Amino acid sequence: MQIGFFDSGIGGITVLHKAIKLIPNEDYLYYADTLHAPYGEKSKEYVKDLVFHAVEFMTSKGLKALVIACNTATSAAIGDLRCKYDFPVIGMEPAVKPAVELMGNSNKRVLVFATELSLKEDKFQDLVKKVDHRHIVDYIPLPKLVRFAEGFQFDSPKVQEYLESILSGINMMNYGAVVLGCTHYPFFKDLFARLLPKDILIVDGNLGTVKNLKRILTQNNNKPEGTGQIDFYQSGVKIEDMDVVRRYYGLMERLDRMDNEKQAEV
Ligand code: DGL
């Protein structure tokens, strides 16, 4: 059986990329609901319906575990998904807790970027209440970034202009960390690193989510049964077109390059 990864679009690839490295001996089913992305601008109820519809399709292929590799879908549907299915369902949340911890007792703040829907949902608001005792967390949505990513626009001047215009309205010197709380945003990590002051930490929850998946598989005495094969689906249709499959693998290569650049800096 495969491990399912679900996202509204290509964002979940940034999580799958980590899974392939940490858990290479499984096979994966990646489902991008590209017909309906972006989710972050839709209502909770509509997103929940879309997620249930997609997951129903994914389970028809047989899953041993499911990662909702989308903060927005997690905040809209994770509780109900866990009630309905008996395999492990792993969700995501913006990495606010580690970011707050990293600030220690310094006077620096944390800025969370995520979708509009994620930020207004109880799940996020409750998380902030729980971990932000010193009231150092601020947050803003970056809706256009998801659209740029879905258009495979990562380095265009338009993306840079957009981020610059957002950042110019914020005094970034007040911040010690930014949280990329939407799985589409790590595709722009190199751009964030170029535009933000050098000492700001850029935090995401991708590796933490995959470690959680690995821990749950181990707890369940999972027998590894794959070789890192990935079947890609877009809104219920298997991608057979090799050009599109190559595009998806190209996203992984982009993430590999960014990891290597980061290692080179260390
Ligand atoms: N990638 C998703 C997330 O992590 C959602 C983006 C969207 O569809 O708006 O929140």
Rounded Cα–Cα distance for residues 66 and 100 (Å): 28
The overall pTM is greater than 0.85:
yes
Class of domain 2-92+206-265: alpha beta
* Segments of the chain scoring below 50 in pLDDT: 266
Q: Which residues contact 32 (CB under 8 A, 6 or more apart)?
A: 7, 8, 9, 10, 12, 232, 233, 234, 235
Q: What is the pLDDT of residue 266?
A: 43
Render 195-222 in DSSP notation, one character per residue: HS-TT-EEE-SHHHHHHHHHHHHHHTTP
Query: 96-204 maps to which CATH number?
Result: 3.40.50.1860
List the chain domain ranges: 2-92+206-265, 96-204
Mutate to test the pocket of ligand 1, among 120, 183, 187 (most ligand atoms within 8 A of CB): 183
Options 13, 114, 180, 182, the catalytic residue:
182
Tell me whether domains 2-92+206-265 and 96-204 share a fold.
yes
Rounded Cα–Cα distance for residues 3 and 112 (Å): 29
- Tell me the per-residue pLDDT of 130-172, one tens digit each, with 9 for 90 and over: 999 999 999 999 999 999 999 999 989 999 999 999 999 999 9
Residue 83 is a catalytic residue: no
Residue 152: left if φ>0, alpha if ψ -120 to 50, beta else—which one? left
Q: Cis omega (within 30 of 0) on the bond before 38?
A: yes
- Tokens for 74? 């997690």
Is the Cβ–Cβ distance between 104 and 44 less than 8 Å?
Answer: no
The vertex-72 CA angle with 7 and 126, nearest 5°, equals 145
